Amino acid sequence: MPLLDMVKNLDALFEGASLEPRRPPRFPGVAIDIDPGRITGVRVEPDRKDGALRLCAVESRSLPEGAIEPSLVRPNVRVLEPVALALRAILPKVATGEPRVSLLLPDHVARVALLAFATFPRTRRELVALVRFRMAKSLPFKPDEAVLDLMLPGGAPAPGTAAAGGNVLAVFMHRAVVEQYEALLSASGYWPGLVGLSTFELYNLFRGRLEPQPGDAKDTLFLNVTGQYLSLLLFRGEELIFYRCKPHAAEAGEGGGPAGIRREIYTSLAFYQEKLLGRGIGRAYLRVCGLPRDEVLAAAAVEVGCPIEPLDLLQVLPVAAPLALDAENASLAAPAAGAIVGRRS
């Protein structure tokens, strides 16, 4: 089950008489991942013979520094022309015959919270109201200006019944920020069929690898390190127990180097040990994009204390001929591929 479904029409999604979500929509076979330094698009299609999903197209274009500046409250697209040019170069090559496109945004344009509830209300509408109330003072914008999505990582209770409680994963984004990104697609003649965050879609692609193994006594670490930020997820069994996204210091300074990466991992794991009764990391997975992979891997290994497995798109998604990908482009394509494959498996 996908960890995060962020759809535009959230009021409709949360209507209903129970916490059980409505039947999920059909997600597009094309996805665009927008990063401050680069835009990457992918297309995934089922094979005509066996029906297995295959990666059929990948296109990527770099962006000049300052064209996109992620922010929770300010317009993110600062210089429109290079962003529009990149999309006009990518979309016709990956979105042939597909007007709906999933849109992935940088993690640090959203405020993500993992909230504990002793008991759940009976309906999603009531749960949304409670989440908005609890987060009202923690948001840098008014709650009624937010696009909100939430999920119960442990699953929803039976329709019409109250649940004993558990965690809620809540994602808030400023509505104006989301609409600015969506306008990039609509201006090119496409419709955003899904809006999500890059790391959660990356997780969707690889979540089968994170399933608990027999005898697991320790927790699982999932790291996504880009040239702009570090995102860290911790799982206890199938339950997400911790999430953190931290932009690199000064965006291009020491924070993106090995010392800064070690510091952020150390800080997160110290909180995990002290506040979440951490029982140690038994398995760790890492995706690196926009930074030297070996340097990041070595820095992370010092703090994690167990072997770290680099995530490889080509191990979970076959590539259709004649497409060929090197390791760098496979890493670039992974989150966008997750927005397609992770929601169909």
Query: How far apart are the C-alpha atoms of 179 and 272, rounded to whole Å?
Result: 35
DSSP run (H or E) holding 202: helix 198-206
Spatial CB neighbours of 37, under 8 Å, sequence gap ≥ 6: 62, 63, 65, 227, 228, 290
pLDDT score of 157? 56
Q: What residues does each domain of the chain span?
A: 1-210+312-345, 211-311
pTM (2 d.p.): 0.89
What CATH code would you report for 1-210+312-345?
3.30.420.380
Buried b (16+ CB within 10 A) or exposed e, 222-260: bbbbbbbbbbbbbbbeeebbbbbbbbbeeeeeebbbbeb
pLDDT score of 19? 55
pLDDT score of 26? 72
Residue with tokens 């670490």: 221
Tokens of 102: 């999933």
Q: What is the DSSP letter of 154?
A: T
Residue with tokens 């960890």: 3
Q: Do domains 1-210+312-345 and 211-311 have the same CATH topology?
A: yes
pLDDT score of 16? 41
pLDDT score of 4? 45
Query: How far apart are the C-alpha atoms of 71 and 118, rounded to whole Å?
Result: 33
Class of domain 211-311: alpha beta
Query: How far apart are the C-alpha atoms of 282 and 304, rounded to whole Å?
Result: 9
Query: How far apart are the C-alpha atoms of 308 and 267, rounded to whole Å?
Result: 18
Residue with tokens 């709650």: 143
Q: What is the DSSP string of 286-326?
A: EEEESS-HHHHHHHHHHHH-S-EEEP-GGGTS-B-TT----
Query: How far apart are the C-alpha atoms of 331 and 146, rounded to whole Å?
Result: 31
> pLDDT of the chain along its 345 residues, tens only?
455 444 343 333 333 445 554 455 578 999 999 999 999 999 999 999 899 999 999 999 999 999 999 999 999 999 999 999 999 999 999 998 889 999 999 999 999 999 999 999 989 899 999 999 999 999 999 988 999 999 887 665 554 555 578 899 999 999 999 999 999 999 999 999 899 999 999 999 999 888 888 888 999 999 999 999 999 999 999 899 999 999 997 544 455 689 999 999 999 999 999 999 999 999 999 999 999 999 999 999 999 999 999 999 999 999 999 999 999 999 999 999 999 998 776
